[in-house]
């Protein structure tokens, strides 16, 4: 575990751990998530998009709220399809977030294919990589698209606070 500051800790795990590997057992993942819930006020699990991921499966199961991001790499679509039953089970606590990280995909058609319209759409920002490499935030930039981006981030923050 890495302490970022007084109130923020990060635990990094290999993203390739899945239900068929022997790196972590089912019980270890459940205990880790239970311990995190008892230790911290707020636990955010960034689940990888590979099908059959053990961490993602238990995180979905134990979550109070699921922020399901769509609109990224093709692997996200494959993950969504592979985990359709699990996602149906947590639908009542799911907030769909359209994270549009590429112009190569038609996001509207992707959402239609997945049969779920995002409640929050985070627009594609052409200069995102440049801003990040310069250490500048995407949030609060000038321009119409930046205002839409900032509004989406504020909506996401509001959902996480509720």
Quick check: is 33 in a domain? yes
Between the CA of residue 10 and those of 1, 5, 14, 88, 94, what are the distances in Å? Answer: 6, 10, 13, 29, 23
Quick check: is 14 in a domain? yes
Quick check: is 155 in a domain? no
Quick check: is 79 in a domain? yes
pLDDT for 18 equals 55
pLDDT for 20 equals 54
Q: What is the mean pLDDT of each run of 10 residues along the chain (162 residues)?
A: 79 60 75 88 75 74 82 68 81 85 79 81 80 76 81 84 74
Quick check: is 153 in a domain? no
Quick check: is 98 in a domain? yes
Token pair for 115: 């049969």
Is residue 30 within 8 A of residue 61, CB to CB? The reply is: no
Quick check: is 108 in a domain? yes
pLDDT for 156 equals 84
| Residue 87 phi, psi (nearest 5) | -70, -35
Range of the domain at 120: 2-125
Quick check: is 131 in a domain? no
pLDDT for 50 equals 64
CA distance 87 to 100: 20
Beta-strand pair 2-5/8-10: antiparallel
pLDDT for 15 equals 58
Token pair for 62: 């134990």
Token pair for 8: 């923020």
pLDDT for 78 equals 72
What is the model's pTM?
0.68
pLDDT for 80 equals 75
pLDDT in tens, 35-73: 988 988 888 887 766 666 777 777 888 888 888 877 666
Q: Considering its fold, how many domains does the chain have in total?
A: 1
pLDDT for 13 equals 67
């Amino acid at each position: 575990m890495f302490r970022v500051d007084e109130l923020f800790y990060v635990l990094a795990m290999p993203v390739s751990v899945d239900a068929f590997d022997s790196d972590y057992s089912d019980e270890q993942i459940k205990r880790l998530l239970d311990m995190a819930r008892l230790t911290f006020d707020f636990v955010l699990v960034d689940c990888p998009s590979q099908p059959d991921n053990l961490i993602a499966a238990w995180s979905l199961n134990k979550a109070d709220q699921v922020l399901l991001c769509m609109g990224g790499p093709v692997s996200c679509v494959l993950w969504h399809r592979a985990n359709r039953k699990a996602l149906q089970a947590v639908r009542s606590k799911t907030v769909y977030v359209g994270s549009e990280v590429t112009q190569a995909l038609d996001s509207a058609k992707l959402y239609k294919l997945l049969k779920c319209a995002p409640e929050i759409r985070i627009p594609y920002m052409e200069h995102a990589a440049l801003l990040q490499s310069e250490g500048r935030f995407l949030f609060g930039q000038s321009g119409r698209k930046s205002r839409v981006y900032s509004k989406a981030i504020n909506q996401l923050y509001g959902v996480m606070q509720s």
